[in-house]
Structure formats: structure tokens, C-alpha cells
Structure 1
């Protein structure tokens, strides 16, 4: 494990770069919903925020025992060879680039990875996959993202024998907030969870801890199993 004066493995979590207000300030900030931080800490990890940087992905990965690619804005479709859909949301190409470099560095180093919502999409695109830019065009409902700032609930069936099923069981109901979804699946990734409407909700790289989930486990304060599994994998990798 990374030496930090603690028995807790260090879990790096990617962050937003947004204009924000606190106290008397209104400035650009590196920020993250505290659900991620609290979930990692409850699971036994030491959470650290990874801001968007122009370089240093290898250094960042070498400083952590595990990596979470957090949720956030839509990916820029230029990154997977498509033109923007009319309902594409705000994008952050700098964050896309940073997280892709972090992910590749983590995979090369054998660092355990958990991609959350956008993070699952980053994992897929980094491995050559594509996204469906507006999921309701396919499934003809908005249940995965009912309204702005309103999480939906999705029942996900998990593939027997998969790593995510070993953690969560055969089926799980989860909080979700996404209008995009995985389309063409990236190289070596396996779809290991689907919603009832067929939407890919979990992917993983066989033989290692590299999981992407389209839902938001940090919003379910009674179920930290995915974070605990990441922390356990980080401990094992660093032992």
C-alpha cells in the first residue's frame, strides 16, 4: 500500500472543475459530492480528491491504491467519433482527457478501478467503445433520469460468475441518473449487468478489479459493498 501513516488504503476520486459558491467566495473549484468521500471512508479507505491536471496522471496513480472515476457531465462525443446529439448536455473535454489518462495509467499499473456512471462511460470509451448519446431515443422512457436533479431507481440483473455479482448478488435495485448509455462495448470489456429494458448497467475487465457501473452507488447510504470491494482489492494489490 501507499505509505500514508494509516492502515487505510488510499482511494483517489476524480473531481469536477466547476464554478461554485461558499462563504463569501464565488470561484472555480475542484469539487465532489461528499457521498463518494463518506462511502469510501465507511468502507475502510482513505479518500483523496484528484483534481483535473494537464499532466501527472502516472504520478497521481502511483500515489493511490485504488481509483474511482466519478460521475459528472456528458462525455464529448468527439472522443468516440460522433457528432453531438441535439440533447447532449454540457461537456468537459479537459476532464475527459484527464480521466482517460488516469484510467490508462491505472490499468497499466494494475491499480483497482471503479467507474461510477460517467466513469463507466470513460472506461468504455477509453477502451475503444462508444456511447448512445440520448438513451430515451432507444428505450422510449426517461426512467434512468426522471428529471433534473432527481435520481431514478433501476433494477439490474447481474451475470452469474461476474465480479460484480460476487459483490452484489444476482439482482440489485439502484439509484441512477443518466441519459446516456454504453453502445458499442470497448475491447476486452464484458457486460455483466443490464437493466430490465436491456440497458448495459455494469461492465468489467475479466481477471482484475476494473468495474464500471452506470448507477450511483454513493447515493445508496445503506449499501457500501462496491466501495468495500474496491478497498479490499486495493489492500490485496498493495499487500
Structure 2
């Protein structure tokens, strides 16, 4: 059977390798490893506005699932807010990913959002973000230091997609200074032990799940396997945690 094709949204950043120091389209390899381990083929989607939703729809026709990768903050104007001093955006990613996401939702393509991807889902569904969690929590435990993940417990709503994937509770690794304030039309189904939103989903669709942490860096294939199963239209149940 042909492996499902999962599109992974990517960065455009200055990068160095070998003798080169130039702009590159890239995504951490951990996402690709998890998609491959889940039985699918990964393709990288550059940050491109694609000429609007019509072109995005053409791209989505070639995909079996969409993975919204982590990254920089979302432009606050997209949810009606002024920028916080700590907010760092990539407008090219916002434009391109929202176009692809809306095209994916229009045809009920399975979608998994990771960290920024979960936040992008919330914004796309009419929600809003907390731009700097330390202002609300009084600490930086969800992003303790540059390149250091904050490890903490999370709990998941009974009967939710998140619970089917992760169980009633699990330990997760966070690296984000922003968070979901309002989930808009999504349902919040996961929370950290300090009540920061950790998972959102759309139960009316085949598979739309956003997680605020980084399972790819933990080598946790479960959410990627759930995405791939939905992309392959398999009816096998998600194994219990």
C-alpha cells in the first residue's frame, strides 16, 4: 500500500552548513523521523503565501495529512492584539500556513499542530493567544532557558482525541513563552498542572489536534501515528497509553 503523504510546514531562516551561510528552507529532522516512523512519507512545505487559497487548495489535493510544525510567534494582529515586546514573528509563515490550513480544513484533511501549530489552529478557529506566559504565571517554567525544555505533567479530557492518544495523563516537554488564551471554535482537551492549555481539537472533524509541547523531540510517535492513521483512513483504534 502506498504510504500516506504528510506535508510539514517549514521555516525560511539564515542557516549554516559546510561552507555555506545562506537562507534556507528547513525543518527539524525530528518531525520527519516521526512521520516516517508512523508509516508515512514527509514532504516539506516552504513558507509561501501560495498566491492565495486557490493555490493552497491545489497543494492540499496532493497531501493526505498536514503537520503544522513549531516555530516563531504568530503576528498578534491576526487575533486583534498589539505586539508584546517579547513577540517575535515570521509573517511569511503566518500567511502561507494559514492558507494551507484553511484549504486543509475545507476538505477535512487530517491536521496535527505542534506548539506554534497548536496556536495557529486556535487563531484559525477565531481564538487568541497569551503573548507572554511569564506575565500571567509569574515564572518561565514552560520555556526555562534557551534550548531547554520545561518538563511537566499534563492531563487530558475523558473521551477526547487527546486522551485516546496520550491517556488520561502524561509528562510533556514544553518550549513556548506564549499560550492559547481562547481556543475559538476548538475544544480544549488538555491542560498542564498550572492550567496552561496543552491540547485543543475539533471533534467534528476526522482528525484535528493541536498539542502545545514537542512530542517529536521526545521520540513520541503516538500523535504522528494518529495523524497517519487518519490520513490513511484506517479504522484501527488508537492504542491505549
Q: Same fold (TM over 0.5)?
A: yes
Choose from 136, 144, 154 the match for 2:142: 144
| Cα distance between partner residues in 2 of 1:184 and 1:167 | 23
Query: Is 1:60 the equivalent of 2:59?
Result: yes
Q: 2:4·2:41 contact (CA, 8 Å) conserved in 1?
A: yes
In structure 2, the gaps of 5 or more residues are 235-241
User: How many pairs does the alignment contain?
Assistant: 230
Alignment-derived partner of residue 203 in structure 1:
200
Residue 232 (str. 1) matches residue 233 (str. 2): no
Is residue 29 of structure 2 the alignment partner of residue 19 of structure 1?
no
**Deviation above 6 Å: which 4+ runs of structure 1?**
none
Measured in 2, the distance between the counterparts of 1:38 and 1:185 equals 29
Secondary structure at the counterpart of residue 228 of structure 2: helix
In structure 1, C-alpha distance between the alignment counterparts of 2:9 and 2:59, rounded to whole Å: 10
**Alignment deviations for residues 37-86 of structure 1 (CA, whole Å, 9 cap, x no partner):** 00110111101101112313112211110000000001111111111112
Q: Distance in 1 between matches of 2:69 and 2:45?
A: 10
Q: Does 1:162 align with 2:157?
A: no
Aligned partner of 1:115 in structure 2 is 113
Could you tell me how far apart the structure 2 residues matched to 1:215 and 1:60 are? 27
Q: 1:216 corresponds to which residue?
A: 214
TM-superposed CA distance for 1:174, in Å, is 1.1
Give the aligned CA root-mean-square deviation in angstroms.
1.3
Consecutive unaligned residues in structure 1, runs of 5 or more: 1-5
Question: Greater shift after overlay, 226-235 or 90-99?
Answer: 90-99
CA–CA distance in structure 2, aligned partners of residues 167 and 54 of structure 1 = 32
- 1:154, distance to aligned residue in structure 2 (A): 2.2
For normalisation by structure 1, the TM-score amounts to 0.93
- Offset at 1:100? 0.8
Residue 203 (structure 1) shift: 0.3
